[in-house]
Amino acid sequence: MDKQNNKIPVGILGATGMVGQKLIMLLEDHPWFEVACVAASKNSAGRSYKEALGKRWAQEGDIPYKTASLQVYNVAEDVRIIKNTVSFVFSAISAEKENIRDIEESFASAGIPVVSNNSAHRWTSDVPMIIPEINPHHLDIIPIQQKNRNWNRGFIITKPNCSIQSYVPLIKAWEKFRPDKVIVSTYQAISGAGKTFDTWPEMRDNVIPYIAGEEEKSELEPGKILGDIINGNFSPSTSVIISASCLRVPVSDGHMAAINIKFKEEVTKEQLTDALENYVNPLKGLDLPSAPDRFITYFEKEDRPQTYIDRELSGGMGISAGRLRKDTVLGWKCVGLSHNTLRGAAGGSILNAELLYRKGLINQ
């Protein structure tokens, strides 16, 4: 913990980006963590955070006072300096996957745990991909990862793609009814591409039916989250087949998912809503500051959840569901919603870090 205020000093790699900015906002008054170091590409390095950002600050309110004056370091070259300042780092870099893998490994091998938002290590066989309310037990692989790589204190954990949080919580809640096939269409906000309407004016009054790499991630990543660790490696679940169509829509924040689902078991609407509302949350009792009181909220009203109204549920960390009804093809259909830069990125990775802290995997 920081000597003056007893908070753990953390670094943010990719601090100038959309997710990096959200991390800075969410950590401003965090009870356990404090931003002690910011880093980005060589283009931003060497200047104060405020200068490096220029007009790119896209959050409500000003840059937090203490962070504005921090010097921006170069993620690729300043590992040693950053290591001496922080206990762990959040990674929110957007670059070539190979490049991100190298950067994250350079921090982990230097003894700095890396809590990543990136997809670069999501499929690395000894790196967990965590949604804390769904697969916290996957953190059991960390000692194996450290042994495999001869790392002492450092390790890497990831979180899934931002679309996943809108529908995988529902599939998990319904696991006992044995989901078999899912067709999901996602309606994804422009902040998911690190953009605003100012930086992406072509998105006004427009829908783009293609998001590079998104459908593959949306179909495959749930398998790892719902899978098991077998002989020290992840074995993805193959019990649910998912087909995804991912569309970019003119919304600032919030990813909505329309889900059609077939179960192997006969099931009623009451059983399905009951399973959502009474989700057995493994975080219960851990008292994590960013955890929502309720993981999944089911809305009975026909026109909910709505992106604009419901994306901020529980500080943007709650998952909304609604419109559960019979489907003529697969049996059931419904809608899910999550905030892509909060639950789906910065907030999700802060929750991951809080879980790591509670489990003693990160410390001073």
Ligand X SMILES: NC(=O)c1ccc[n+]([C@@H]2O[C@H](COP(=O)([O-])OP(=O)(O)OC[C@H]3O[C@@H](n4cnc5c(N)ncnc54)[C@H](OP(=O)(O)O)[C@@H]3O)[C@@H](O)[C@H]2O)c1
By annotation, the residues acting in catalysis are 162, 255
Cβ nearer to ligand X, comparing 188 with 260: 188
Half-sphere exposure of residue 107, counting CA atoms within 13 Å on the CB side?
Answer: 33
Largest Cα–Cα separation, the chain: 62
x-marked contacts with ligand X along 78-97 as a string, rule CB under 6 A:
--------------xxxx--
| Interaction between residue 6 and ligand X (CB under 6 A) | no
| Interaction between residue 67 and ligand X (CB under 6 A) | no
Distance CA 40, CA 94 (A): 10
Interactions with ligand X, residue window 107-126 (CB under 6 A): 117-119
x-marked contacts with ligand X along 244-283 as a string, rule CB under 6 A:
----------------------------------------
| Interaction between residue 163 and ligand X (CB under 6 A) | no
Total count of residues recorded for the chain: 364
Report helix, strand or coil for 91. Answer: strand
CA distances from 151 to 82, 87, 112, 233, 259 (A): 18, 15, 10, 17, 41
- Tell which phi-psi region holds residue 186, choosing left (phi > 0), alpha (psi between -120 and 50) or beta: beta
Per-residue 3-state assignment (H helix, E strand, C coil) for 250-270: CCCCCEEEEEEEEECCCCCHH
| Interaction between residue 344 and ligand X (CB under 6 A) | yes
Burial of 325 (0-12, 13-18, 19+ CB in 10 A): exposed
| Interaction between residue 347 and ligand X (CB under 6 A) | no
Shortest Å distance, C-beta 213 to ligand X: 9
Hey, what are 111's tokens? 């003894």
Contact indicator for 104, 120 with CB cutoff of 8 Å: yes
Cβ nearer to ligand X, comparing 185 with 199: 199
CA angle 173, 237, 305 (to 5 degrees): 30
Contact indicator for 155, 113 with CB cutoff of 8 Å: yes
Shortest Å distance, C-beta 147 to ligand X: 27
Candidate list 14, 128, 179, 305; residue touching ligand X; CB under 6 A:
14
- Which stretch, 10-18, 77-85, 279-287, 315-323, contacts ligand X (CB under 6 A)? 10-18
Cβ nearer to ligand X, comparing 2 with 219: 219
Cβ nearer to ligand X, comparing 138 with 339: 339
Hey, what are 309's tokens? 């109204």
Report the candidate in 89, 96, 108 with the shortest Cα–Cα distance to residue 37: 89
Candidate list 291, 340, 352, 353; residue touching ligand X; CB under 6 A:
340
Cβ nearer to ligand X, comparing 74 with 239: 74
- Which stretch, 131-139, 141-149, 201-209, 341-349, contacts ligand X (CB under 6 A)? 341-349
Distance CA 250, CA 224 (A): 30
Rg (CA), the chain: 20
Shortest Å distance, C-beta 242 to ligand X: 18
x-marked contacts with ligand X along 171-200 as a string, rule CB under 6 A:
--------------------xx-x------
Shortest Å distance, C-beta 29 to ligand X: 21
Shortest Å distance, C-beta 186 to ligand X: 12
Q: Give the number of residues in contact with ligand X, rule: CB under 6 A.
A: 29
- Which stretch, 35-43, 197-205, 227-235, 307-315, contacts ligand X (CB under 6 A)? 35-43
| Interaction between residue 135 and ligand X (CB under 6 A) | no
- Kindly report the backbone phi and psi dihedral angles of residue 33, in degrees, each rounded to the nearest multiple of 5, phi listed first: -115, 150
The binding site for ligand X (CB under 6 A) comprises 14-20, 40-41, 43-44, 75-76, 92-95, 99, 117-119, 162, 191-192, 194, 340-341, 344-345
